[in-house]
Structure 1
Amino acid sequence: MTMSFNDQIKSRVIALDAAMRPWAERSPLRAGLYEFLLFGLKQAWACLFAAIMLALLVGSHLFWPDHAPIARYDFLVIAAVLVQVALLAMKLEHWNEALVILVFHVVGTAMEVFKTAHGSWIYPEPSLLRLGDVPLFSGFMYACIGSYIARIWRLFDIRFIRFPPLWVSWALAVGSYVNFFSHHYILDMRWALFALTALAYAQTWFVFTPDLKPRRMPMLLGLILVSFFIWLAENLGTFASAWVYPSQRDGWHMVSVSKMGSWYLLILLSFVLVTLVHRPRSPDEEAKTVTPGLD
């Protein structure tokens, strides 16, 4: 029976691990270096969808022909759909996770329509496949975040220490999402939301397993780090004219680091949506044998 593409990858990773493990076990230093290598490989694998989308954004910006038969933005819509279909067909993404990611895609697109109507950012290039002023590929940018969180949860077998009641996370996520709309009309509550999230997760740690030994990190630090890397990706996106802010109309420059705050709040929504398929578990719950393969 022919193995799926995903199974082929896992078998190769397991074979590589079998070859490398004896070398890594010869000293603590080698073991640490090998664990760090696996950490990087799993992070890269979790970013698969996001990396492909960023490559499409930057590559099409640099090499798109002037007289192409379709608009670049329309090409990005078609390419994003094909990538998502391919990931599911090759079992590199799970169907239940894809449904949750689709929900995040929809709520992200709804926010895009509202924000572009209020001039928060613009899509400077023409296209046919769009909703109002928003080309349809934009929703896949949110899907990238959801895909990353869902995949990282599986790959690192993430558990939580002193995780607050799940309704707290839902309340913070919904409040953050509503604030993206309401702050145009009433007081911006983001600083209050920052304070509430700091209070809710002050004692929460997430436990992750890069190799065989569980490691842990404060949840707030994890959220900030993910926000930072999304901000870096956003700079690539604006450089590629996937979208631009009003201040970038006359020339590209780095996006303000304050945008990390918006991504921090938006990650909360993606996080709680992923909890629909990955319930937060404690380290001692449903113990699992960790393997070096990529799931």
Structure 2
Amino acid sequence: MTFQRIAHGCAQFWRFGLDQVLAVAFAVVLVGGIGASRLLPGDLPVARYDLLLLYGVALTVLARKVGWDGPRDTAVILGCHLVGLLFELVKVRMGSWSYPEDAISKIAGVPLYGGFLYSAVGSYCCRAWKIMDLSHRTRHRRTHRRTRPASDLVPRRPATHAHRPAATLE
């Protein structure tokens, strides 16, 4: 192995790391804001959950304005937000967790900002796809037959709650 190949590999690895930082920026800023919101005084005229909703919307608008996200990316992120919000509604209704603070922007005990955590995942996927210039390639049916049993081992327990027995190796 030559020095040039090692240097090229290190440069590629560094570039990949930088691409990941760019792709995860929305999620880091969102989660950082959620964490920092715990430091806000409790006597604000607006509820913390409502401020977090405004913060998430502002971040989404900013990402669109600076060109990080296009119309299609925003649609994917909105879809992730809605799916996440539905998931939160189910989990709160089943008693898995709760959001104890008051807010105007709560539906059935779930603050609307809760879907932004899932939007962060959607944003990462869209940005990583774009930054790393990924594309689909057709796979052979033989590959699908080999990978399907492995994918069936992925636990689906979070979505099914406790309505079926856990099949984990604990």
TM-score (norm 2): 0.78
Which among 12, 15, 20 is matched to residue 38 of structure 1?
15
Aligned to 1:128: 104
The change in CA–CA distance for 1:183 and 1:67 in structure 2 (over 3 A counts) is closer
In the alignment, the residues of structure 2 paired with residue 164 and residue 188 of structure 1 have an alpha-carbon distance, to the nearest angstrom, of 34
Deviation at 1:182, TM superposition (A): 4.3
**Amino acid aligned to 2:133:** D
How far did 1:161 drift? 6.4
Q: Which residue of 1 aligns with 2:70?
A: 94
Amino acid at match of 2:12: E
Corresponding residue for 2:115? 139
Aligned counterpart for 1:57 among listed residues 9, 30, 34: 34
Match of 1:48 in 2: 25
- Residue ranges of structure 2 left out of the alignment (5+ in a row): none
**What CA distance in whole angstroms lies between the structure 2 residues aligned with 1:124 and 1:37?**
43
What SS does structure 2 have at the residue aligned with 1:50?
A: helix
- For residue 85 of structure 2, the aligned residue among 84, 93, 109 is 109
Closer/same/farther in 2, CA of residues 131 and 64 from structure 1, 3 Å limit: same
Aligned counterparts of 1:190 and 1:159: Cα–Cα separation in 2: 34
User: Normalising by structure 1, what TM-score?
Assistant: 0.47
CA gap of 1:40–1:181, structure 2 versus 1, over 3 A, is closer
Q: Which runs of 5+ in 1 are unaligned?
A: 1-25, 192-257, 259-295
State how far apart, in whole Å, the 1-side matches of 2:51 and 2:140 are: 43
- The alignment yields a C-alpha RMSD, in angstroms, of 3.0
Number of aligned residue pairs: give it: 159
Q: Structure 1 segments of 4 or more deviating over 6 A?
A: none
Q: Aligned with 1:137: secondary structure?
A: helix
Task: State the partner residue of 1:148.
Answer: 124
Q: Distance in 1 between matches of 2:76 and 2:167?
A: 25
1:102 is paired with a residue whose SS is helix
Percent pairwise identity: 29
